[in-house]
A and B are shown apart, each in its own frame.
Chain A
């Protein structure tokens, strides 16, 4: 099995190297052929691995490939642990990646960085696989950081755009704040368990952490396990964009749309969720940590969803929806429904990737227009995109029968079952979140695909409006100039710019992935909810304490997918979702002047939402400006004035002054020496003679 696993990770890596370093020689077709082949191999073998694990042909794999280093008796390895949790993640990652690879052929056609783009997304696939397949914390951290770097490179893919290179730096640094906590968490794990290998850590955790405490602030002893879990969770908050480390994700939309689908919706941002699920044996030991996770997740689910209500940029609406859904997954983790979180992760990966790719298709069809206010009635021009986007939205709002319905309804029920102190708050958040989700999702659908055609069909005047809207979110946007856009969007004009502003359906390489993703978005929940949530699909991969086992409670009431749907349509979430759709229809199709009026009436609230609760401004003022001011102060005052001015040049001056004094004595005049000698003689006489 080890060879299969090696092929799975190395195929995308080799493809990435070929496309990246030899892209010039192998050309565009060569680059996409080799990377698609690499990912297809990985995807095929991942599916095979999953099938073998499910049918029991092979057992869970745990083994090392090589020893990274040995220090102080601690062995750190590069190796794989593949159980059903991992195998599911591998399939999701490689399948979505494959779809995105194919889609990219259409989306990035004519872009000057074509080979580079394929190299990056293959490299990303490799990094993500290393992350999920790891059998130890060191390699987990490697994958964790590697996906971060590729994300950095891809957000800044159009490196001449000031907004893009601002966004990628911001994304990397905010993620580094998370990693800062994560690396301390890893250090804590090593400290208490003496190992970084999952097997060893999970086996000894109960004993190793028992009754251990850590005095971070003298006098206040914290449970060691709570500190460890919270530190690890800080890492998850960075990568999975939980409040208050969420600020990078909306800005990451500066990257090309295929990577928004792959990295910032389906895979990388769910790494935090996966990590916590993987660490379930640790998190189960600390209710404090679980409560914290629950509160953070609830806040993210609720408050980030609200922001989706007011945004007009099609990609950013989907981005806020991603934030909110990540919050849902985190809530599930908090109530110990790890399987529910991973289940929602999987269904979300399909329908959210679908929504992003559909949004990308709309953007292409609209000649790189992202402002929904300038769209409308696109269903006439882009039927395939419309249908698939509709399917994705239905799944997102949890329409009965779709995959999102199963995962979201089960998740809400699980929160309802939980006995944690924060569960009440969480239940409120996830329930109201259902209405919010339905409203903004169908606001997007109605604004984009229904209603009046609001776009400008004349030759000129497209593209820049949306840029300006997107750029408004950026502190550095004032300096941007049109030149950069033209450069960045050359491909748009070249590839499909030979006509006026009339929208058009995208080519088959774009619509095929949409259809491929729409299939699991509809059906996967129906078939997998039984085994994944209520069966023993995950087996030993996820560990839940008996007292926290909310899914176990729910399992008693589960009588098959059909009954689950039947039950679902009588429940509150269903009505909330339907009313969300209804109000979206009312406001954005029927009475389109209402939203403006509401915005006027609630203008402070609207301002708050428009400015994203002022997180960005506050962070920029405190952290970006603050650290620069601190740096200036330390440099100018500490280094220049104090050390150099006072100590270094001060000593030099002191030596100079002292030398001056000495020089003053050595006048070179005979009479002054003679005079000094006489004085000296007199003094000595006084001491030696007269004193005695």
Chain B
């Protein structure tokens, strides 16, 4: 364990760099992107001690920082990470440099502000994962919307206004209910400590209301069917970097929210409403899989594929009660949670890579329509090799990270109910169908038009981005053990905690 405030540095360093960029403004157009790149790389480098110094034996919070903040509300500046948060923080710092690189030449308008927005966003996202105080969490959670709103609204596509309003209202509406739940629990417990919320006794009615309030906030973020329709619009209009952050990190906040708030704070309500969560998850996998199949826009297709993949996260998180009901033991509950977490990290890498890939093509052809492409492999063989690899990962090929989470969740789902596993396993067919059909139409075939006929293969900047992500996807697929080791105590602790009822004891 280190003695410097590592989490604070990870939050405020990128925000500070972002502020510097904003201050420099137009004066630093040339240097701006280098400052942003170095800032994000430094943040990533500084986040590595989180991994190397992580204690694998405990589920308690690590790298804890505790300072007074708003005494009037008994809210404090309380940071820390466990096996759930730490991998997500590292994922955030890992992905951000790619975003900076993705905008390297594509963004011509207000460059410095663009990078500033992403760096500030990075700090806020780390804050969301690291906050142990609910009010602090909420502040980061809402603050994060602002840079994203700006990123889509300023550097987005032609329908960006519709997309931003939709994105903002959807997510904001959800979070307001969460705020109500947080305030209610604050009034009951007298503090904003998440740990206090988790430990507090609540009646079933209270729990159900709290659960629904959280559900509204997190379901929108994940997103779960039927509150998912903002995502395709937001992705389509967002610049490449925005899409990458949205898919790779921001969606994970919903999944993380369920693990940090819904499950431990309202375990009895989770037990009562698990049928709802499981149904919505399976709808996401199957229904959205079919919808993804017919998309004409590459970004929409990948957006829908994200929703389907995130279905595994929510499915894995809420399987445990049905496992207990079916088998009378919690064996398999932790496997579902493991699968959910691995799926989050893996989806961060793969969806990021997929959107980067689309960005690489968009920068050359300036279209996202599948029909505008065809035969890209003839002109961009190296790019095509990467894109096929990431597509295979997206369809859950073993030896890539995409397989691990889905496999674990399917194995766990079988313990709960044959049909859960059956429907979840449909992703093997559907995921391959929509992803590889995309590959067929975009990458393979003859060169169909002049735009594609004149494209050039990836340059060294793009090559490095894709190569690093490819290595990460393969490494996690070939040897996921270290990631599971990090999560193990937290997962086991969560299962144990959630299996204990929080209902008030009858007098």
Taking the complex as formed, is A71 at the interface, i.e. its CB lies under 8 A from any CB of chain B?
yes
- Say yes or no: A483 contacts B446, CB within 8 Å: yes
Query: Which of A73, A74, A184, A630 is close to B290, meaning CB atoms less than 8 Å apart?
Result: A630
Closest to A148 in B: B397
Segment of B91-99, B194-202, B478-486 in the binding face:
B478-486
Taking the complex as formed, is A647 at the interface, i.e. its CB lies under 8 A from any CB of chain B?
yes
Interface string of B368-390 (1 = CB under 8 A from A): 00000001011000000000100
- Say yes or no: B375 contacts A190, CB within 8 Å: no
Complex CA–CA separation, A165 to B437 (angstroms)? 10
Interface string of A138-161 (1 = CB under 8 A from B): 100110011001001100100110
Task: Tell me the dominant secondary structure on chain B's binding face.
Answer: helix
- Say yes or no: B292 contacts A74, CB within 8 Å: no
Residues from chain B with Cβ under 8 Å of A74 in the complex: 335
Taking the complex as formed, is B408 at the interface, i.e. its CB lies under 8 A from any CB of chain A?
yes
- Say yes or no: B411 contacts A647, CB within 8 Å: no
Closest to A624 in B: B433
Query: Which of A72, A138, A214, A627 is close to B333, meaning CB atoms less than 8 Å apart?
Result: A72
- Say yes or no: A172 contacts B436, CB within 8 Å: yes
Residues from chain B with Cβ under 8 Å of A152 in the complex: 436
Minimum CB–CB distance for A684 against chain B, Å: 33
Query: Which of B226, B331, B378 is close to A643, meaning CB atoms less than 8 Å apart?
Result: B226
Taking the complex as formed, is A176 at the interface, i.e. its CB lies under 8 A from any CB of chain B?
yes
Which residues of chain A from 145 to 196 have a CB within 8 Å of any chain B CB? 145-146, 149, 152-153, 156, 159-160, 162, 165-166, 169, 172-173, 176-177, 179-180, 183-184, 186-188, 190-191
If A160-B375, A631-B293, A631-B294 touch, whether A184 touches B479 (CB-CB below 8 Å) is: no
- Say yes or no: B484 contacts A69, CB within 8 Å: yes
Taking the complex as formed, is A648 at the interface, i.e. its CB lies under 8 A from any CB of chain B?
yes
If A173-B432, A184-B414 touch, whether A632 touches B294 (CB-CB below 8 Å) is: yes
Residues from chain B with Cβ under 8 Å of A145 in the complex: 397-398, 403
Taking the complex as formed, is B407 at the interface, i.e. its CB lies under 8 A from any CB of chain A?
yes
Taking the complex as formed, is B421 at the interface, i.e. its CB lies under 8 A from any CB of chain A?
yes
Query: Which of A159, A627, A639 is close to B445, meaning CB atoms less than 8 Å apart?
Result: A159
Interface string of B418-457 (1 = CB under 8 A from A): 1101100110110011001100100111100000000000
Taking the complex as formed, is A216 at the interface, i.e. its CB lies under 8 A from any CB of chain B?
yes
- Say yes or no: B444 contacts A159, CB within 8 Å: yes
Which residues of chain B from 463 to 507 have a CB within 8 Å of any chain A CB? 478-481, 484-485, 488
Residues from chain A with Cβ under 8 Å of B293 in the complex: 627-628, 631
Residues from chain B with Cβ under 8 Å of A638 in the complex: 287, 291
Taking the complex as formed, is A671 at the interface, i.e. its CB lies under 8 A from any CB of chain B?
no
If A72-B335, A159-B377, A179-B428 touch, whether A188 touches B414 (CB-CB below 8 Å) is: yes
Interface string of B38-77 (1 = CB under 8 A from A): 0000000000000000000000000000000000000000
Minimum CB–CB distance for B174 against chain A, Å: 13
Which of A69, A71, A484 has the most chain B CB atoms closer than 10 A to its own CB? A71
Residues from chain A with Cβ under 8 Å of B170 in the complex: 648
- Say yes or no: B429 contacts A180, CB within 8 Å: yes
Complex CA–CA separation, A71 to B392 (angstroms)? 24
Residues from chain A with Cβ under 8 Å of B421 in the complex: 184, 187
Complex CA–CA separation, A481 to B335 (angstroms)? 51
Complex CA–CA separation, A638 to B226 (angstroms)? 9
Minimum CB–CB distance for A313 against chain B, Å: 23
Taking the complex as formed, is B176 at the interface, i.e. its CB lies under 8 A from any CB of chain A?
no
Query: Which of A71, A73, A176 is close to B408, meaning CB atoms less than 8 Å apart?
Result: A71
- Say yes or no: B446 contacts A187, CB within 8 Å: no
Complex CA–CA separation, A220 to B66 (angstroms)? 58
Residues from chain B with Cβ under 8 Å of A605 in the complex: none
Interface string of A46-75 (1 = CB under 8 A from B): 000000000000000000001111111110
Which of A72, A183, A630, A638 has the most chain B CB atoms closer than 10 A to its own CB? A72
Residues from chain B with Cβ under 8 Å of A214 in the complex: 418
Complex CA–CA separation, A66 to B429 (angstroms)? 30
Residues from chain A with Cβ under 8 Å of B169 in the complex: 652
Residues from chain B with Cβ under 8 Å of A68 in the complex: 478-481
- Say yes or no: B432 contacts A631, CB within 8 Å: no
Interface string of A630-649 (1 = CB under 8 A from B): 11101100110011100110
Minimum CB–CB distance for A5 against chain B, Å: 18
Complex CA–CA separation, A328 to B333 (angstroms)? 43
Residues from chain A with Cβ under 8 Å of B429 in the complex: 173, 176-177, 180
Which of B375, B404, B481 has the most chain A CB atoms closer than 10 A to its own CB? B481
- Say yes or no: B481 contacts A172, CB within 8 Å: no
Complex CA–CA separation, A216 to B334 (angstroms)? 24
Minimum CB–CB distance for A175 against chain B, Å: 9
Which residues of chain A from 479 to 503 have a CB within 8 Å of any chain B CB? 481, 483-484, 487
Residues from chain B with Cβ under 8 Å of A73 in the complex: 331
- Say yes or no: B334 contacts A71, CB within 8 Å: yes
Taking the complex as formed, is B367 at the interface, i.e. its CB lies under 8 A from any CB of chain A?
no
Which residues of chain B from 321 to 373 have a CB within 8 Å of any chain A CB? 331-335, 338-339
A sample of 8 more A-B contacts (CB under 8 A), given A72-B335, A487-B446, is A66-B479, A72-B334, A141-B407, A149-B397, A165-B440, A165-B445, A173-B432, A644-B229
Q: List 20 A-B contacts (CB under 8 A).
A: A68-B479, A69-B404, A71-B408, A74-B335, A142-B399, A145-B397, A146-B398, A149-B392, A169-B437, A172-B436, A173-B429, A176-B432, A177-B429, A184-B422, A187-B410, A484-B446, A634-B287, A635-B291, A642-B226, A647-B226
Closest 8 CB pairs between A and B?
A: A187-B414, A631-B294, A631-B290, A142-B398, A72-B335, A72-B334, A631-B293, A159-B444
